[in-house]
Amino acid sequence: MSKTFHITTFGCQMNEHDSEIMAGMLTEKGFEQVKERKDADVAIINTCSIRENADKRFFGTLGQLKRRKKEDPGFLVCVCGCMMQQQHIIDTLKSKYPWVDVIFGTHNIHQLPELIDKALSEKRKQIEIWPDGGEIVEGLPARRLYTCKALVNIMSGCNNFCTYCIVPYTRGRERSRKPEEIVREVRHLVRDGVKEVMLLGQNVNSYKGDSETDFAGLIYRLNAIEGLERIRFMTSHPKDLSDRLIQAYADCRKLCRNIHLPVQSGSSRVLKRMNRKYTREQYLELVEKLREAAGDITISTDIIVGFPGETEEDFEETLDLVRRVRYDSAFTFLYSVRRGTPAAQYAEQIPEEIKHQRFNRLVELINTISAEKNAGYVGRVERVLTEGPSKSGSQTYCGRTDGFKLVNFKGSADMIGQMVDVEITEGKTFSLEGRVIGG
């Protein structure tokens, strides 16, 4: 009988995509993917380390597996992802969780099948962690979550060293894939029925494919692929957002009128201490340019509350920036100390209570604006790519508009993977309701 596996994924879309690749490799090897971890012979946990909570959730999950491991010594536990790139985590795993079988890093994904084989045949722990990646490994298979849309890595790593962030330490330096490889992959995906691609990188704006192809150049090349309907990307750093990319919004029909543009703070003083390399004014100017090039563009962001030294005035500048930009949506985070990053050493850490108060004020403002913006969609007709059944129940399906808004509507299973025209009937804080008026 073939062996079964299950992957638990924490963190961002990079991790999601790494999990798709691991699933692809194991499926190719004859393993079968199962929906529930309890039914698996091999459990893989792909970790994230962006905030302390993420670390805690991993150790919680690992704790749950201990009993199963005791009852069934043949059960294999593999751990990977961003947490594994930190020595103190490896030390904790070795001392407190000695029953973990395979530990591998973010640059060693391609070795998973071989590591599982070795763990089974040698019956001893396997550890493979490279501190940084070499050449990007091409041609790995992927078992994708959706059939109509796909995640496509265009680069890995990050060179920015924002002072709060662990990613440059866990993902290594920036490396871009060759544009031909990306174009070839997207062509294959389109042949398999994919209509929408999400280009992934920690800072896609600093993509350097070859001497002629920067990020905007890549968008123009992908826009020319027949059969592809939509191009999205994540994440773009304001400091490198070029005029050429802004122009691409005006020129490329397939580039969705949506951008996730993390601001982190509305105070230039805090931005400087975060090492973000732009000011509040420069950010606002970018937003203005984007709106000039693509009038109805939707904009979302990430904001950190309670960065060390953030004063009430700094925080009010953040509130003011949110009011000016009027984001369609925003992810807000409480600053979390990350071992080994510069900001962890900063004096003036903000008390938890103040962080929480600011967080609540910010979320309230953001939600009010989101609800107002979404209410403005009522009566509009939006083209929606149907992704699948919605959470709200029978005969209800959901999909995304060009501007990345989630829409729920009554439909049928044959709409999955298809573009439909939906008239918006209601705007809620986090989603829209609508009815299908055409295919």
Which residues contribute to the site for ligand SF4 (CB under 6 A)?
158, 160-162, 165, 167-168, 202-203, 237
Residue written as token pair 């509305």 = 266
Neighbour tally for 340: CB within 10 Å:
12
286 sits near ligand F3S (criterion: CB under 6 A): no
The item of ligand SF4, ligand SAH, ligand F3S, none sharing an interface with residue 15, based on CB under 5 to 8 Å by kind, is ligand F3S
Contact with ligand SAH (CB under 6 A): which of 16, 17, 23, 51? 51
Q: What part of residues 147-166 is at the interface with ligand F3S (CB under 6 A)?
A: 166
User: What are the angstrom distances between the C-alpha of 176 and each of 12, 49, 152, 253, 281?
Assistant: 19, 23, 12, 25, 30
Residue 81 or 217: the one with the smaller Cβ distance to ligand F3S is: 81
Please state, in angstroms and rounded to a whole number, the distance separating the CA atoms of residues 80 and 103.
Answer: 6
Q: In the complex, what is the shortest distance from the CB of residue 152 to ligand F3S, in angstroms, rounded to a whole number?
A: 16
CA 438 and chain centroid, separation:
32
202 sits near ligand SAH (criterion: CB under 6 A): yes
DSSP 5-49: EEEEE-SSHHHHHHHHHHHHHHHHTT-EE-SSGGG-SEEEEEE--
Q: In the complex, what is the shortest distance from the CB of residue 48 to ligand SF4, in angstroms, rounded to a whole number?
A: 12
Which of 131, 166, 157, 153 has its CA nearest to residue 50?
166
Q: In the complex, what is the shortest distance from the CB of residue 336 to ligand SAH, in angstroms, rounded to a whole number?
A: 4
Which of 392, 394, 380 has its CA nearest to residue 435?
380
Residue 93 or 343: the one with the smaller Cβ distance to ligand SF4 is: 343
Please state, in angstroms and rounded to a whole number, the distance separating the CA atoms of residues 132 and 63.
Answer: 29
The item of ligand SAH, ligand SF4, ligand F3S, none sharing an interface with residue 161, based on CB under 5 to 8 Å by kind, is ligand SF4
The item of ligand SAH, ligand SF4, ligand F3S, none sharing an interface with residue 168, based on CB under 5 to 8 Å by kind, is ligand SF4
Residue 169 or 409: the one with the smaller Cβ distance to ligand F3S is: 169
Residue 49 or 431: the one with the smaller Cβ distance to ligand F3S is: 49
Please state, in angstroms and rounded to a whole number, the distance separating the CA atoms of residues 7 and 16.
Answer: 10
Residue written as token pair 């930009």 = 325
Instruction: Judge whether 115 and 76 are in contact, CB under 8 Å.
Output: no
329 sits near ligand SAH (criterion: CB under 6 A): no
Residue 25 or 50: the one with the smaller Cβ distance to ligand F3S is: 50
User: φ and ψ at 281, to 5 degrees?
Assistant: -65, -45
In this structure, what DSSP letter does residue 111 have? G
Which of 254, 235, 257 has its CA nearest to residue 246?
257
Contact with ligand SAH (CB under 6 A): which of 106, 126, 235, 386? 235
The item of ligand F3S, ligand SAH, ligand SF4, none sharing an interface with residue 333, based on CB under 5 to 8 Å by kind, is ligand SAH
Dihedral angle over CA of 274, 279, 280, 284, nearest 10: -130
Cα three-residue angle 28-138-230, rounded to 5 degrees? 90
206 sits near ligand F3S (criterion: CB under 6 A): no
262 sits near ligand SAH (criterion: CB under 6 A): yes
In this structure, what DSSP letter does residue 93 have? H
15 sits near ligand F3S (criterion: CB under 6 A): yes
Q: In the complex, what is the shortest distance from the CB of residue 249 to ligand SAH, in angstroms, rounded to a whole number?
A: 19
Contact with ligand F3S (CB under 6 A): which of 23, 25, 44, 50? 50
User: What residue type is assigned to position 135 of the chain?
Assistant: E
Positions in the binding site for ligand SAH (CB under 6 A)? 50-51, 164-165, 167, 202-203, 235, 237, 262, 264, 302, 304, 333, 335-336, 338
Positions in the binding site for ligand F3S (CB under 6 A)? 11-12, 14-15, 48-50, 81-82, 166-167, 170-171
